[in-house]
Amino acid sequence: MLDINGPSHVRRRRLEAQLFSRPSLVGYERGHIRPMIEATLAQLAAGERAPDGTVHGDLIAVLRSILYRISAVVSGIDDVHTEDQVERFRWFVAELTAAAMVDFSTEDHSEVIRRGLAVRDQFVEEFFQPSLQRRQRLVEAVRSAG
């Protein structure tokens, strides 16, 4: 995707533009982002407090977790809710990014690609396939009801 040009690029942009339309952005905000932020803040508020009653937390870690969850939502990946799931998703993103950027790697390129393909297969099994199957069931349920 990083090197796509010409008509393929235009087709991809048109397809992806739907993900960032105004209605989609409003849906993300109302259905995912606000609830994520509210749940995260509630979790922080329920934790330990300083002697003066203030809540302390690592905002960078909190924001990073929320951003990975948003990335999962936008890309159609389910079950990135707990910190363990977020960390697993983050690991996949880092590993797949390293493989996608193989041209800039100082490691043996064939090894980076081999590792990236293995990680891709794991990602498909752990995250992509269950998410795809869920969506297929949802589509089938709508078709059956209609």
32 contacts 73 by C-beta, under 8 angstroms: yes
Partner residues linked to 55 by β-bridges: 49
Same domain, 52 and 120: no
Same domain, 76 and 144: yes
Mean pLDDT, range 89-113, rounded to an integer: 95
Same domain, 85 and 117: yes
Could you read off the pLDDT of 57-82 as tens digits, one per residue?
A: 888 988 999 899 989 998 999 999 88
Same domain, 43 and 71: no
Same domain, 133 and 68: yes
Could you read off the pLDDT of 20-35 as tens digits, one per residue?
A: 899 989 998 999 889 9
User: Domain range spanning residue 143?
Assistant: 59-146
- Decide if pLDDT at 18 tops 90: no
CA distance 52 to 106: 50
- pLDDT on residue 40: 85
Mean pLDDT, range 3-11, rounded to an integer: 85
Query: How many CA atoms within 13 Å lie on the side-chain side of 97?
Result: 6
Domain count of the fold of the chain: 2
Same domain, 43 and 81: no
Query: How many CA atoms within 13 Å lie on the side-chain side of 90?
Result: 15
Same domain, 68 and 45: no
- pLDDT on residue 57: 85
